[in-house]
Structure 1
Amino acid sequence: MKLLSVIGLLIWATLCIRLLPFKYSASLMGRAGMVAPRGLNEDQMQEASDLAWAMHCIVRHIPWDATCLIQALACQVWLIQHRLPATVFLGVSKDSDQPVANFQAHAWVLCGQNVIVGGQNVSCFKVIASFGGYGA
């Protein structure tokens, strides 16, 4: 069941990111500038881990490019719906010597102490925005 709900959220997030102004999509990620609490109990940690696994499996097999921002939006909405505290971070590459043509941006979701989606090389990015969500 979790796999189907993740697929549905990825479709929805893709449409939001591609068709709607970012201001609307950002409002769905949580409160701007907020960082959610990082303490999770054992059941919450397992739920977040299961979501990370489902997202990883599905993204490799869907027929469209689910960017890190699409994955972050889908993941955050799922976590909020399931009352898990999480934060979406948006970052830009730290290398200020890069020309604009090589500009890199990235989105990732932190739930508890774990990066659920977008965890590759987050230390290479400077956080420019955060959106905290807590469904309690």
Structure 2
Amino acid sequence: NEFFCAVIVENDDGIIASGLAYTRAMRQGSYNFTAAIIGNVAVKSSYRGQGLSKVVIGQLEQALAPTDVAYSFLFAYETNVYQSSGYSQLESPIRYFDTQKQNWNQFVYRGGMYKAHTSKRTLNQKVIEFGGCVY
């Protein structure tokens, strides 16, 4: 029930890029907010380097724009790919549900990134309660 939308880019070769967005309630200290988790962003290897990840992220964010999402988060192997879309390194630890171990876990994910969609309040170094799993 957290799934929000999907973006699929296709041409004559079939699907060449895709991404998903999820939304959920999160918390940092006493600050409660709605957040998006951007996940499963993928580009077919023969189409990489053409800005398709940026297109997918942009379309996901456009779909999220009318909602009350304060921040979006993503977890990347190649963080530099997402910096040009306005994402910054996430320094705060996150508390999330580990679906493989079936327990709650907390750590700073080195590929974690976030982007603010509001100027109401900025995140600090305290733990962010993700309220569920990481996609």
Shared topology, TM-score over 0.5?
A: no
TM-score normalized by structure 1?
0.31
What's the TM-score once normalised by structure 2's chain length? 0.31
